């Protein structure tokens, strides 16, 4: 029986793009800005998009458009990744999957136009479904300004932020509210994620089976301890070198996509075992789908005094069956590996 063909790896790169190309109806893969929601109803609410550690609203990091060929119920399919950017936390991460058939209530059956449509230059804070979006983050906004009844928010934190940065003055000017959305310094810079197949000529990495060969003679240290130290250090260096060699020909890659492949880790520490990846609520196993690379940090301009958003690898695992749970958003699993894992 012939071996199955290897799953091709797609590399993602951050590129500038006009705003209209990053709207929902274009089915984009993108970094930053507001989410370009796929399903326009049953969005994840404020509770689902709160940091599990500090409780503050998460910021939209990126989304990947990843339809499944041959699956009518996943003709359109996107994954949405959110992170906490509030120091001193900067630790929370959540990822959601949404999928739609080609014939759905939100989009044309035909492919989207390749030219800009009139009226797409403005920020839209209300979906076709009628759902309102937060003026600060673009997520579901069940709260409303009690005075003007026109400004909507996901949380008290974002209402306070918007009030301080201009809504206090605009609140009584109903004709200007939708057109006066200030820069809240909450969203990440926005880029399109452009993908291309990984180059087949990446140098092959030779696996080292016996790390004890690198040990030398160091008097005063027990041989067993020396062997253990050398094995750990050489294995750690090998993993990092393998990571570097994989990205060497395309060092600007911010994302690696390959559903069902194995991620490449940046460190030998904090690599998840199968038991660490929870099954989907439907009962199916979760499999690796894509990873976010540390190079993305260069585009986010998130550095502040003190702690800021940081990672070595963000690995996203999704339901192997890509189960269909209506038009809503299903939470998946993300694993964070730091460059050096510290307790």
| Residue 275: per-residue pLDDT | 96
Regarding beta strands 333-337 and 313-319, do their DSSP bridges make them parallel or antiparallel, or are they unpaired? Answer: antiparallel
What does pTM read for this prediction? Answer: 0.86
Those residues whose C-beta lies under 8 Å from the C-beta of residue 180, and which sit 6 or more positions away, are 166, 170, 173
| Residue 37: per-residue pLDDT | 98
| Residue 119: per-residue pLDDT | 56
Segments of the chain scoring below 50 in pLDDT: 201, 206-219, 226, 229, 305, 341-343
| Residue 304: per-residue pLDDT | 56
Q: Report d(CA 100, CA 83) in Å as an integer.
A: 25
| Residue 182: per-residue pLDDT | 77
| Residue 218: per-residue pLDDT | 39
DSSP assignments along 241-278, one per residue: HHHHHHHTT-TT--EEE-TTSPPPPS-SSSPPPGGGSP
| Residue 217: per-residue pLDDT | 37
Q: How do residues 225-264 score in pLDDT, each as one tens digit? A: 545 545 555 677 788 888 988 889 899 999 999 999 999 9
Q: Which helix (H) or strand (E) holds 168?
A: helix 168-170
| Residue 149: per-residue pLDDT | 86
Q: How many CB atoms lie within 10 A of CB 26?
A: 20
């Amino acid at each position: 029986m012939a071996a199955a063909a290897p799953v091709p790896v797609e590399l993602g790169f951050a590129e500038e793009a006009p705003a209209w190309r990053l709207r929902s109806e274009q089915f984009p893969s993108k970094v930053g800005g507001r989410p370009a929601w796929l399903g326009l109803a049953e969005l994840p609410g404020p509770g689902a998009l709160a940091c599990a550690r500090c409780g503050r609203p998460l910021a939209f990091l990126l989304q990947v458009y990843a339809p499944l060929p041959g699956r009518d119920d996943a003709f359109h399919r996107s994954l949405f990744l959110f992170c906490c950017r509030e120091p001193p936390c900067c630790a929370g991460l959540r990822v959601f999957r949404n999928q739609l058939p080609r014939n759905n209530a939100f989009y044309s059956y035909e492919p989207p136009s390749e030219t800009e449509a009139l009226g797409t230059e403005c920020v839209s804070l209300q979906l076709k479904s009628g759902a309102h979006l937060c003026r600060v983050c673009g997520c579901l906004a069940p709260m409303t300004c009690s005075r003007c009844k026109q400004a909507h928010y996901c949380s008290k934190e974002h209402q306070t932020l918007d009030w301080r940065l201009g809504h206090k003055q605009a609140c009584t000017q109903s004709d200007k509210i939708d057109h006066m959305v200030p820069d809240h310094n909450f969203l990440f810079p926005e880029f399109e994620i452009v993908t291309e197949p990984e180059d087949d000529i990446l140098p092959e990495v030779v696996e080292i089976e016996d790390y004890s060969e690198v040990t030398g003679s160091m008097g005063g240290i027990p041989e067993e301890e020396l062997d253990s130290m050398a094995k750990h250090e050489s294995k750690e260096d090998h993993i990092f070198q393998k990571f570097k060699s994989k990205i060497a020909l395309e060092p600007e890659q911010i994302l690696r996509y390959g559903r069902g492949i194995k991620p490449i880790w940046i460190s030998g520490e904090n690599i998840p075992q199968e038991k660490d990846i929870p099954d989907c609520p439907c009962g199916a196993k979760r499999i690796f789908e894509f990873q976010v690379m540390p190079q993305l940090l260069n585009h986010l301009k998130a550095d502040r005094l003190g702690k800021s958003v940081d990672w070595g690898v963000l690995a996203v695992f999704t339901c192997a069956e890509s189960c269909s749970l209506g038009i809503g958003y299903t939470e998946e699993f993300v694993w964070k590996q730091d460059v050096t894992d510290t307790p």
